[in-house]
Amino acid sequence: MHAVTISPCALAFTVLSGALLALAHEHHDELSEEAANAPVDAILWIHMIVQAGVWGILFPIGMVLGLSRSRWHVPLQAAGFVLTIGGYFLGHAHGGRQFLKSAHGTFANILLFFVALQLGLGVYLKLHIHERTVRPWAVRAHGVVGKLYPILGWVQMLFGAIAFRGYCRGGHLGQCLAHYIMGGGFIAYGTIIAILLLVGEQWVRRSGRSPEWWDSWVILLWGIVNTFTEHWGGAWSIKDMQHTVMGVLWWCGGLLAMQRTVVPSVIIILTGWAMSSHAQALMISTQVHAMFGYTLMSAGLARIIEVCFIVPRFAPVKVVEVDDAESDRTLAPEATENQSPGRAFRHLPAFLLVCSGILFMSATDEELRFVDGLGMDHVTYVLIMFSIAFFLYTHIVFLINLSVVSGKNGVVQKTDGAIELAETPRTATWYSRVPNDDHRDSGASLIHEPVHIVGDEDEEED
């Protein structure tokens, strides 16, 4: 058992987080026009900036550092806990504009439960007790809750934006659900493709399935949900019919796509085509929906090209290790790799899916009526959304790359106290096509084993 000193601050945070669950905030069932349109004070702006920074940037980085067993994981998460609690108080202390009861306020209390749970699990794991009974389960629970943080933060920030503008009330709820859930689904789809591209090759190989097989399951299940949730009673409208048929398209196509085809991409293209011709009440709404459809069709086309024609052929990886007698250290490996244009191309489907998701989430009637009232044209609005997509995809790629260069994946501690870079992970390769039963696959990529050159000897191993 390791001797661990528990910080009084950590215990105080645990108690404080639990106490905050009961903290009531004055919500309103009705607001006067003056209260609803009052200026936003500085405290509320600070609350939004702090919470967006913590849940959008700090906690996701901390999650990645936890996965890589980095020593910076605990300090970063502790700082996030402090800022979260501070931001929670600020959100209940602001003046100026008032808001109706919303999902944002309710979900804030739910988030505090997860914060307290994660903090309590972290402190418990530091005690190193119950090693063979409770601790293994606590480790799993700590990992699951930590991986949920980016999703929880994304949902709460979305709720916050909705509450700030007063959207999704009354008859607008159904459209909000359709746009935000499906738009978020496209962003998640692009994120998963990026993960598989950058760090998921070995997992794909072990699964024995191609990424398109997993795509098909998502499309199938989402199509079933979409089929039965687009019509909420009453007379059928043209939009209800289009959305419901689109759900049928997804689950029918998902069944076929499991047979190792390009159907997932075809479904994306058909969905984009349908949305590009989706009639809307406002001209700017029609134009934004059209741009969303074109972007989604481009993502589907790029995915077909990537699956069918971009077959990676990587050169052997050479790792050179040279002994330095004076410092008694081994120089960092020098890896050379063929950075083919095909590898760069594989970012395109993922990025376009993220762009599609952002565009669809920003295309609700309420949002576009507000934009139209400002006199903004669709070109400016779409460029703003693409800028957000660029930033978001940059953040996604940064987090993925951070996972392979931080913690146990980035450095190793030598016995003499010196630090050296660990062997460069082979993350630049991609999955090979799933082999047939006779292990022959004419489209399989050629992946060569590394060639090691040690010292001054010209010995190579294939």
Q: Flag whether 302 is in a domain.
A: no
Distance (Å, rounded) from C-alpha 356 to C-alpha 197? Answer: 19
User: What pLDDT is recorded for position 438?
Assistant: 45
Secondary structure letter of residue 334 according to DSSP: -
User: CATH number for the domain including 147?
Assistant: 1.20.1420
User: What pLDDT is recorded for position 23?
Assistant: 44
Q: Flag whether 174 is in a domain.
A: no
The residues that bridge with 319 in the sheet, in sequence order, are 452
User: Rounded to two decimals, what is the model's pTM?
Assistant: 0.77
Q: Flag whether 202 is in a domain.
A: no
Q: Flag whether 327 is in a domain.
A: no
Q: Flag whether 268 is in a domain.
A: no
Q: Flag whether 90 is in a domain.
A: yes
Instruction: Identify whether the C-beta of residue 82 lies closer than 8 Å to the C-beta of residue 143.
Output: no
Q: Flag whether 140 is in a domain.
A: yes
3-state secondary structure of 206: helix
Number of domains in the chain: 1
Which helix (H) or strand (E) is 279 found in, with range? Answer: none
Q: Flag whether 195 is in a domain.
A: no
The residues that bridge with 313 in the sheet, in sequence order, are 446
**What are the Cα distances from residue 198, in Å, to 214, 368, 455?**
17, 36, 31
The residues that bridge with 329 in the sheet, in sequence order, are 324
Q: Which domain range does residue 134 map to?
A: 1-166
Q: What is the dihedral of CA 48, 51, 57, 61, to 10 degrees?
A: 180
DSSP 63-128: HHHHHTT-TTHHHHHHHHHHHHHHHHHHHTT--BS--B--HHHHHHHHHHHHHHHHHHHHHHHHH-
One-letter amino acid at 44 equals L
Q: Is 234 exposed, middle or buried (0-12, 13-18, 19+ CB in 10 A)?
A: exposed
pLDDT along the chain (462 residues), means of 10: 42 43 50 72 91 94 92 91 90 81 89 91 90 92 93 94 89 84 90 85 78 82 80 74 85 80 87 84 90 95 86 42 45 41 80 95 92 93 96 95 86 44 42 44 39 40 40
Of the candidates 81, 75, 17, the residue with the CA atom closest to the CA atom of residue 54:
81
User: What pLDDT is recorded for position 8?
Assistant: 37
Report the relative pairing of strands 419-421 and 411-413 from DSSP bridges.
Answer: antiparallel
Q: Is 69 exposed, middle or buried (0-12, 13-18, 19+ CB in 10 A)?
A: exposed
